[in-house]
Structure 1
Amino acid sequence: MARGNNLHHLPLQGILIVVLTLLVHGGKLSPDYYSSTCPQALSIVKKEVIAAIKKETRIGASLLRLHFHDCFVNGCDGSVLLDDNSTFTGEKTARPNNGSLRGFDAVDHIKTKLEKACPGIVSCADILAIAARDSTVYLGGPSWVVRLGRRDSLTANKTAANTFIPAPTLNLSALKSNFAVQGLSFKDLVALSGSHTIGFARCISFRSHIYNDTNIDSSFASSLKKKCPVSGKDNVLQGLDLQTALNFDNDYYQNLLIKKGLLHSDQQLYNGNAADSLVRNYVLHPSSFFEDFAKSMINMGNISPLTGKKGEIRLNCRKAN
């Protein structure tokens, strides 16, 4: 199959609009990237995201996580959505993703709607960026202006996914280094970790924390051990935020203050170190968390996007054209 740009799928008028858009934006991300080529793009994504969350509330956290796991591997290029093929093994079976990354069907559905409205225009990478914002807002979190114009990669990188997506076992120093590699700051690390105010983690992800760590509330650890034994039941789920795992709020940070962070990496943010003051600030001032989270999501969305003539606009998010 051809893997170059897909302008040959468009009528002459569509080609001219795409070329004009590239000239106007100069290959840079822009909030109004689709204003002339697909003005209904944002409304379509929002409508479908809300419908998906109404069907299953967990999907909101899953869509947010997809954007995160996409951007941390070779930049925000939609590579996380690619299925395996004869030339590469995709990122879906990498350790941080295998058996836990979700929301692919929801993305497929959004893409189908966009292809009907604006064939060959909206990238899968941009769908992830918009869906992450819309999911956050619908679940009660902050909004931000999503910059658009990313193009899709032709390949995926399982090795990079295993290397660069932060593991739940990392300590603060390793987390700082992990985010720094992506050009993200220490504040970005603490703010983006707040995405764990929604969603669930599997027993296999928090087992070591509840059995081996000392910086955890003993009664909290005991209650989790009843759900998550030393071996077996790897896929048993626990809310990352104890009280409101389906609502975007600042409870995640409140849990850290009382040593009830679910993951080892979570509790590292409040463990007598440089992150403590930021955590306390987010507990006392939820609006400060919301503001910083929105800024950090924009920063994350800017990680090494493919623009201009790089990559392509996939017609199917699961495979290159």
Structure 2
Amino acid sequence: MNNKIQNKETDKKKSVVEAVIFDWAGTVVDFGSFAPTTIFVEAFQKEYDFTITIAEARVPMGLGKWDHIKAVGELDSVNQRWLTQFGTSMNKANIDQIYQRFIPLQKSKVIDHAQPILNALNVINDLKVQGIKIGSCTGYPREVIDILSQAAAEYGYQPDCIVATDDLAHGGRPAPFMALKNVIDLGVSNVAHCIKVDDSTPGIYESNNAGMWTVALLLSGNEAGLTYQQYKEADDKALNKARQKARLVLTKSNPHYMIDTIDDLPGILVDIEKRLIAGERP
């Protein structure tokens, strides 16, 4: 008598997709990407008694954090208020000072945003069952992502690779180097067999530049800017409005797919597998 018990996991076939590379905040953890945005607001306020809005803090999301501060300062609305308050535009010394204020604030609070969102762990574990490697990269510097990744590991999220924005000399998005460092470290044989999942336009540009399939998240990330509670309580009209808001921004970066959250990724994986088997490339 055959006593072997088969289940859906052992029946899974090895995927033609070699790796999926995830962003962190707004993608796998931190629904709505609030950890970095709220700290940007606080850093400007504490260092220069200068007020920026959450909406302004969100505009350059996905960039490395020093570049992010620089980009916020270059927004017309911010620059005009800075000129009025200080008589000159923000300069490198100002950016450095805000960044030095930002880092300890972010390190102290990022742990509060480490819990995986929605069905992220089940989706990622199912990818692993299919032999898919799990990579990750982030706009956080190494000293911040080390704290976040340790906290996320306590919830069960442990990617096979983590690349921080300051790990490489030219690592910042939208350049492809962080994504490609994942390819190297994971031992991926074909970049076209990789998928990148992100909630920001710099993150999508990064993966397009790396030659990967790109999946943009509409509702869990920076562009919709919803808290998890708002997402759960929203009716169809409110969710459609949030989708449209995010889609208007993310479409500019030409992702191959746009979905609500990581929970919708399995269906996209199936479609990409079919396209790869048919000989398509990103």
Q: Is the shorter-chain TM-score for this pair beyond 0.5, marking a shared fold? A: no
With the length of structure 2 as denominator, give the TM-score of the two structures: 0.29
